[in-house]
């Protein structure tokens, strides 16, 4: 049983809703002290209040991952409130859609500065405290989109998610001497608030293309993140864990339908 996150200090960026909130909830349920980070104060506060139910240790910090000094303040607050930083889940990400013909320089800058540069700023800010932890852990939320698959409108998003993995493969070597590991979870289609808004038909069609015949839950990603952050995963670094219900495996519709 993975119980090694009990009492650990965990930061989750992009945690006021969606996958980040799910990751934060899983860590909180397993006894970690969690700092929920997002830009919108009301949503971050509401999320932390909801996750605190039952006496869990969750608090909110308002910060933008694209702002280096806000990330430094985030790390300072985590150390002050929770006694250090053991685990950073660099999850904040955006996925605006734009076709190749329309994609502007500003579109590129927005996506890359949040998904890649912002990820780095959060890691850089947390590093001094992670080095002091006995076995610091960094878990990135990448995606199947980019590293494995493609989806129209998400060329820049896919490039940013693949870039996270390129970053990770060098970072894991630089961080090894501090005993810090860095790994990435690659979610498939996960049922978040945003996806629920697209309606039951969309969900049914997507579920039909997944061998396990359902979308993922935010808990599915939280459990994968918790495994990569556990003591038991201490010899795993620079690796990817696809959590997609088998979505990326059928080589054709025929393969899916014959099963």
Ligand X SMILES: NC(=O)c1ccc[n+]([C@@H]2O[C@H](COP(=O)([O-])OP(=O)(O)OC[C@H]3O[C@@H](n4cnc5c(N)ncnc54)[C@H](OP(=O)(O)O)[C@@H]3O)[C@@H](O)[C@H]2O)c1
Q: Which residues bind ligand X (CB under 6 A)?
A: 13-20, 37-40, 43, 64-66, 91-95, 114, 118, 141, 143, 187, 189-190, 192, 194
- Of the pair 194, 234, the CB lying nearest ligand X is at 194
- Of the pair 93, 136, the CB lying nearest ligand X is at 93
- What one-character-per-residue DSSP string does 45-92 give? HHHHHHHTTTT-EEEEEE--TT-HHHHHHHHHHHHHHHSS-SEEEE--
- Of the pair 66, 82, the CB lying nearest ligand X is at 66
**What is Dmax (Cα atoms) for the chain?**
56
The nearest distance, CB 179 to ligand X, in angstroms, is 26
Dihedral over alpha carbons 208, 210, 211, 215 (to 10 degrees): -100
The candidate with the shortest Cα–Cα distance to 117, out of 54, 160, 69, is 160
Q: Which of 157, 178, 202, 235 is catalytic?
A: 157
The candidate with the shortest Cα–Cα distance to 81, out of 20, 42, 37, 47, is 37
The nearest distance, CB 37 to ligand X, in angstroms, is 6
The nearest distance, CB 187 to ligand X, in angstroms, is 4
Q: Is 178 a catalytic residue?
A: no
The nearest distance, CB 39 to ligand X, in angstroms, is 3
- Of the pair 30, 157, the CB lying nearest ligand X is at 157
Q: Which segments of the chain are extended strands (E)?
A: 9-13, 33-38, 57-62, 87-90, 137-141, 181-187, 240-243
Quick one: tokens of 96? 């605006």
* Catalytic center residues: 157
């Amino acid at each position: 049983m993975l119980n090694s996150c009990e009492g650990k200090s965990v930061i989750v960026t992009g945690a006021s809703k969606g996958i980040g909130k799910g990751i934060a909830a899983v860590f909180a349920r397993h006894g970690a002290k969690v700092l929920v980070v997002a830009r919108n104060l009301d949503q971050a506060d509401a999320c932390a209040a909801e996750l605190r139910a039952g006496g869990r240790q969750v608090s909110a910090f308002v910060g933008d991952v694209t702002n280096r000094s806000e990330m430094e303040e985030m790390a300072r607050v985590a150390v002050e409130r929770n006694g250090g930083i053991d685990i950073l889940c660099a999850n904040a990400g955006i996925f605006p859609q734009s076709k190749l013909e329309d994609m502007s320089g500003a579109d590129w800058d927005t996506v890359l500065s949040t998904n890649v540069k912002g990820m780095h700023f959060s890691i850089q800010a947390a590093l001094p405290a992670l080095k002091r932890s006995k076995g610091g852990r960094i878990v990135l939320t990448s995606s199947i989109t980019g590293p494995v698959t493609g989806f129209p409108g998400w060329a820049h998003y896919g490039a940013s998610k693949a870039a996270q993995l390129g970053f990770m493969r060098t970072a894991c070597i630089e961080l090894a001497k501090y005993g810090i590991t860095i790994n990435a979870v690659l979610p498939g289609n996960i049922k978040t608030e945003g996806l629920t808004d697209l309606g039951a038909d969309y969900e049914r069609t997507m579920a039909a293309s997944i061998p396990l015949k359902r979308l993922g839950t935010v808990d599915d990603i939280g459990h994968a993140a918790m495994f990569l952050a556990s003591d038991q995963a201490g010899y795993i670094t620079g690796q990817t864990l696809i959590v997609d219900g088998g979505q990326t495996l059928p080589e054709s519709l025929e393969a899916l339908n014959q099963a």
